[in-house]
């Protein structure tokens, strides 16, 4: 329920386009899961009901991947923003999907490591 689900037109339109040239194609609803378990439950429900699922990070994509051309439910993963594990020994980090490049670099400050611009996977 609210504030973790929205069917408001403005919210759906915000989640129905990215930085690409493709026209807006809003989902039928937007949800903000906050854990892997919630994502699993939502995905299972959508699967059972044959409802399309559209993942949404920051909306900075250039390919139209967030456009819900068949409607469905947008999974806005921005609230899943924990940095779970950092290994300085092997230069690896485990993050939730809502972690941005800026947040990761802030976390890495002082370690001698950084996540460079242009690497695929993390939004601004």
Q: What is the C-alpha separation between 73 and 56, in angstroms, rounded?
A: 10
CA-wise closest residue to 52 among 36, 76, 75: 75
Q: Is the pLDDT of residue 123 over 60?
A: no
Judge contact between 71 and 27, C-beta under 8 A.
Answer: yes
Q: Tell me the pLDDT tens digit for each residue of 32-72.
A: 999 999 999 999 999 999 999 999 988 788 888 899 999 99
**What is the DSSP code (8-state) at residue 112?**
T
Asked if residue 47 lies in contact with residue 94, where contact means CB atoms within 8 angstroms, the answer is: no
- The model carries a pTM of 0.83
Q: How far is CA 37 from the centre of its chain?
A: 15
**What pLDDT does 118 receive?**
59
pLDDT of residue 2: 82
Mean model confidence pLDDT for the chain: 91
Arithmetic mean of pLDDT, 83-90 = 92
CATH architecture of 2-76: 2-Layer Sandwich (3.30)
Task: Specify the domain boundaries for CATH 3.30.43.10 within the chain.
Answer: 2-76
């Amino acid at each position: 329920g609210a504030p973790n689900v929205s069917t408001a037109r403005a919210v759906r339109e915000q989640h129905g386009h990215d930085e690409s040239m493709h026209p807006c194609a809003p989902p039928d609803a937007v949800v903000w899961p906050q854990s892997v378990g919630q994502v699993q439950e939502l995905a299972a429900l959508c699967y059972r009901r044959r409802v399309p699922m559209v993942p949404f990070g920051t909306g900075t994509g250039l390919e139209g991947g967030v456009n819900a051309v068949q409607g469905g439910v947008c999974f806005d993963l921005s609230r899943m923003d924990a940095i779970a594990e950092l290994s300085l020994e092997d230069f690896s980090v485990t993050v939730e999907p809502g972690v941005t490049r800026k947040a990761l670099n802030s976390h890495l400050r002082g370690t001698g490591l950084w996540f460079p611009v242009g690497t695929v996977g993390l939004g601004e």
